[in-house]
Amino acid sequence: MSELTFDAVVVGGGIVGCSAAFFLAREGWKVAVVERDSLACGTSSKSFAWINGTSKTADENYHRLNARGLAAYCELAVEFGEEALGLNPSGTLNVVQKSDAANYAATQEQARQLAAYDYPAAWVDIHALRRMEPHMTLPDDAEALFAMADHCLDAPKFVRFMASQVQALGGTVLEDCAAQSLVAQDDGQVTGLETDQGTLKTRHVVVAAGPGTAEVLSMLTGYDAFATRFPLHQVPGLLVRTPNLLPHRRIRHVVYSSISPEIHMLPDFNGGLKIGSDETDGMVTVDSTPDQLHNVASILLDRAKDLLPGFPDRDCLDECTITLGIRPYPKDGHSLAGPLPGAKGLYVIATHSGITLAPALGGLMTELIATGQTPDMLKPFTLDRIEGF
């Protein structure tokens, strides 16, 4: 590949990187996406893919950033259609029992907080809940917080769509292309990116490498300490995706059930279910063996059977897909997005809930790069809030 020139280069072909590239391209920038493997091959394809602001109520700024992500998806759906994007406006049911006093009180407080933020949600009783999910077996004292604006996403489809739009807008998507190092002037101004396919000349590089962010920054800058100092945890999450199921074995909404044992499920785009649990995530590590993952997946299928009597439980495990996604969790729990302090033209986006936040952070980062000014919504999440940066 001969030397090419771009207004901006995005390192990372997942949902965050391709969303950032899309919004930059819409501003008329000539953009390249550099992905060392294939698009959406990492965390994006192994995510529960629940778009919401429902679960983020403790901090108002962070809630509103997530709500902005949901709103951005809705705006894209008006323009391109839900089918093209892989969106399902399913809504979420957060199911809890009145007899579980602690969880019931916490969920009601969550509902009050969402109302204070003007986030669309309502409380539903057992009668409404059974109408909404007729195939679920629920105790008589079950109720739910219904977040009707939430969506779920076919994330790989969305990533591919964003990448196709980047190309349609004159950008370039380079798969199987590994970023190697930055080219910079003595004053720290980025002037290019070295890859294993050649040099890309640019004055703006956005690193959106998910759980690999620290390692990528270390490699690009030559500063080894990034690999250990960058404030990001790698947190594994196991999911089971079932094959297509008969209608009486399915659900209609994203369901988070705190009825013991805890489980969350959503209607997958293949006609099956996607199933996970915060509890079972604690049973796996990045080094779990296939047999260990298989055993935890069996637990998830048994839990699904408890809620859906028609579900075939672990009998269908051989037909299921088991994935272990490595999620990037900033150490303080909130997104890291903005310029890398001390560098000129180098930007970072690293966050959990990348599925929800991708279009919001992509749009806000585009505004920052294009204007040189940090948008107000992004200010609480820039890297200079972290000690050592």
Label residue 383 exposed, middle or buried (CB < 10 Å: 0-12, 13-18, 19+).
buried
When pLDDT is averaged across residues 319-342 and rounded to a whole number, the result is: 96
Give span(s): CATH 3.50.50.60, the chain.
4-46+155-231+332-385
Give span(s): CATH 3.30.9.10, the chain.
92-148+233-330
Contact predicate 132/2, CB 8 Å? no
Instruction: Name residue 339's amino acid.
Output: P
For 195-213, write each residue's pLDDT tens digit.
999 999 999 999 999 999 9
The C-alpha atoms of residue 118 and residue 103 are separated, in whole angstroms, by 22
Q: What is the pLDDT of residue 377?
A: 99
Label residue 312 exposed, middle or buried (CB < 10 Å: 0-12, 13-18, 19+).
middle
Phi then psi for 378, rounded to 5 degrees? -90, -20
State the residue for tokens 């209608």: 247
> With 80 as the cut, is the pLDDT of residue 256 above it?
yes
For 3-23, write each residue's pLDDT tens digit.
799 999 999 999 999 999 999
Please give the full DSSP string across 189-201, using - where no structure is assigned: BEEEEEETTEEEE
For 49-75, write each residue's pLDDT tens digit.
999 999 999 999 999 999 999 999 999
When pLDDT is averaged across residues 248-276 and rounded to a whole number, the result is: 95
Instruction: Please name the residue ranges forming H helices in 283-383.
Output: 290-307, 354-371
Q: For residue 312, what pLDDT band results from cuts at 50, 70 and 90? A: confident
Question: What count of other Cβ atoms lies within 10 Å of the Cβ of residue 377?
Answer: 16
Q: Which residues contact 75 (CB under 8 A, 6 or more apart)?
A: none
Contact predicate 327/211, CB 8 Å? yes
Instruction: Name residue 14's amino acid.
Output: G
The C-alpha atoms of residue 286 and residue 307 are separated, in whole angstroms, by 29
Q: Virtual CA dihedral for 325, 330, 333, 339, nearest 10 degrees?
A: -130
Type and span of the H or E element at 10: strand 8-11
When pLDDT is averaged across residues 103-125 and rounded to a whole number, the result is: 98
Q: For residue 1, what pLDDT band results from cuts at 50, 70 and 90? A: low
- What is the separation, in whole angstroms, between the first and last Cα of the chain? 35
When pLDDT is averaged across residues 180-194 and rounded to a whole number, the result is: 96
Q: For residue 246, what pLDDT band results from cuts at 50, 70 and 90? A: confident
Type and span of the H or E element at 227: helix 226-229
The C-alpha atoms of residue 159 and residue 136 are separated, in whole angstroms, by 32
Region of residue 4 (left: phi > 0; alpha: psi -120 to 50; beta: else): beta
Q: What is the pLDDT of residue 12?
A: 99
CATH superfamily of 4-46+155-231+332-385: FAD/NAD(P)-binding domain (3.50.50.60)
CATH number for the region 92-148+233-330 comes to 3.30.9.10
When pLDDT is averaged across residues 249-262 and rounded to a whole number, the result is: 94
Instruction: Name residue 85's amino acid.
Output: L
Q: What is the mean pLDDT of the chain?
A: 96
Q: Which residues of 326-360 are buried (b: 16+ CB within 10 A; e: fewer)?
A: bbbbbeeebbbbbbbeebebbbbbbbbbbbbbbbb
> With 80 as the cut, is the pLDDT of residue 293 above it?
yes
Q: What is the pLDDT of residue 386?
A: 85
The C-alpha atoms of residue 33 and residue 17 are separated, in whole angstroms, by 7
When pLDDT is averaged across residues 307-332 and rounded to a whole number, the result is: 91
When pLDDT is averaged across residues 358-382 and rounded to a whole number, the result is: 98
Higher pLDDT, 308 or 260: 308
Contact predicate 14/159, CB 8 Å? yes
> With 70 as the cut, is the pLDDT of residue 2 above it?
no
Q: For residue 260, what pLDDT band results from cuts at 50, 70 and 90? A: confident
3-class SS of residue 24 = helix
Q: Which residues contact 93 (CB under 8 A, 6 or more apart)?
A: 124, 129, 132, 133, 144, 145, 146, 253, 254, 255, 256
The C-alpha atoms of residue 385 and residue 300 are separated, in whole angstroms, by 38
Q: For residue 315, what pLDDT band results from cuts at 50, 70 and 90? A: confident
* High-pLDDT (> 70) share of the chain, %: 99
The C-alpha atoms of residue 297 and residue 303 are separated, in whole angstroms, by 10
When pLDDT is averaged across residues 305-329 and rounded to a whole number, the result is: 91
Type and span of the H or E element at 356: helix 354-371
Q: What is the pLDDT of residue 247?
A: 84
> With 90 as the cut, is the pLDDT of residue 314 above it?
no
Angle ∠(309,311,317) on CA atoms, nearest 5? 145
> With 70 as the cut, is the pLDDT of residue 261 above it?
yes
Q: What is the pLDDT of residue 389?
A: 62
Say if strands 205-207 and 8-11 run parallel, antiparallel, or are unpaired.
Answer: parallel
Length of the chain in residues, anyone?
389
